[in-house]
Structure 1
């Protein structure tokens, strides 16, 4: 077994306590040739083209079970034709581009392509600046406690005490999933009542400065989306004021070459 494959499999076991997932679901694969989503949807990393994804996804939820950040959801009835299929709502929880990409390995049908379990292949979408005037960095306003508290409120792995106190407590017996999510909150806590560069400072891309940076504008700072951005949505989740959004299934050239921001 290759070392990379072993690492990914061990990571999945840490997340769920299960062995190799999804093999038993293979018999349930079906094809729905005309399924179409009503609007572009942010899919997990490794998702094949939307028309193929709709044919291949069997709504098994394996990707959801192994996601260490609880980023993946299954669409409810509002999802239309794609109800029950995996998606990410970045305002609730972005994807943090975990190194092992366990969601891809867990997918039994290829809706999440096993061959694309490397950051260089991931292109979920592209971030854009949707409301420049709302940016705290542009207006030199500090990050309010309420903006950080919101992330605590939708982080599922915390104890009742941590939720109440809005403070993570690191424990030696924390599972890997808990450690990863607490690390995000630890990093975010440093911005309480401080100048905001959250989107650039906490970008999970391996070389974040290639994906997003802060540039001077009108006496303040403003996020600049760069070519390496993969549309993971972490910046959308963490942004205090909804400055950013993700356009699913697009990339830097398709959006920014048209001058759209």
Structure 2
């Protein structure tokens, strides 16, 4: 029995008792190859190697349900063979690196490794400067209102009125999810009309965001500099007003920035 055959057998065993969704997922790998998305997705914190992730993810959505920032989504039919697997689309909602990593702890199959529920083990990918010329800080331009308003549209805990007016209501006994997402909006609001340093100032890497990203002087302005501690969470990509940054899933700092 080959190693691939063993992985398929073990995976199908995990499907037992999971109903139609599980059986459908298992059926897709019986053909003799692993099911992969059309492009490499940014996986949640703690994700094992891609082939193992696709074999182990049972598409249960539990990581999605416990995510405080609503960062995790499930691959739809357009994702091809990876349909139902968990991923993050940074421009729509980055990961904010919760200290408890509830997504990892909620995973029942090992697709998100419980032994990696600490920031020192998290490595999702690597941020890169995709379009330096678009950086507002390079030209000392202020953050436009539209850039901050866009994040209100990403914030699922808000009411329709809050999204429309861009004013947060004080409600009694808010959920932890609402508190965290509203706190992010409050931090972002401080940048309205100010010089943009959002990517560096709101980086969620802990305990020291400057190890992951910082602003450096260039041509009379500033640009972001990606540093070795970056874990590719994608928060900077979501919050950037002008698409300066992108995430390369599963890439390392050495691969991107230390090539000979």
DSSP 3-state at the match of 1:224: strand
User: Equivalent residue for 2:236?
Assistant: 235
Tell me if the contact between 1:63 and 1:106 (Cα under 8 Å) persists in the aligned partners: yes
Tell me if the contact between 1:56 and 1:110 (Cα under 8 Å) persists in the aligned partners: yes
Q: Quick one: distance in 1 between partners of 2:91 and 2:49?
A: 23
DSSP 3-state at the match of 1:81: coil
Q: Quick one: distance in 1 between partners of 2:62 and 2:217?
A: 43
Unaligned 5+ runs, structure 2: 1-13
Q: Quick one: distance in 2 between partners of 1:82 and 1:173?
A: 39
User: Equivalent residue for 2:59?
Assistant: 59
User: Equivalent residue for 1:45?
Assistant: 45
Q: Quick one: distance in 1 between partners of 2:258 and 2:170?
A: 45
Give the TM-score normalised by the residue count of structure 2.
Answer: 0.87
Figure out how many residues of one structure are paired with residues of the other and give that number: 236
- Map residues 139-158 of structure 1 onto 2, 5 A cutoff: 139-158=139-158
Tell me if the contact between 1:25 and 1:60 (Cα under 8 Å) persists in the aligned partners: no
* 2:212 equivalent to 1:211: yes
* 2:122 equivalent to 1:122: yes
User: Equivalent residue for 1:8?
Assistant: none
C-alpha deviations, 1:32-91, integer Å up to 9, x for none? 352223221100000000000000001110000000000000011111110111000000
Change (3 A) 1:169 1:68: same
Q: Quick one: distance in 2 between partners of 1:171 and 1:203?
A: 27
Unaligned 5+ runs, structure 1: 1-23
C-alpha deviations, 1:14-37, integer Å up to 9, x for none? xxxxxxxxxx98843776352223
Change (3 A) 1:56 1:165: same
Q: Quick one: distance in 2 between partners of 1:36 and 1:68?
A: 27
Larger Rg: 2
Aligned alpha-carbon RMSD (Å): 1.6
User: Equivalent residue for 1:14?
Assistant: none
Tell me if the contact between 1:25 and 1:108 (Cα under 8 Å) persists in the aligned partners: no
Q: Quick one: distance in 1 between partners of 2:120 and 2:36?
A: 27
DSSP 3-state at the match of 1:82: coil
Q: Quick one: distance in 2 between partners of 1:135 and 1:232?
A: 20
4+ residue segments displaced more than 6 Å: none
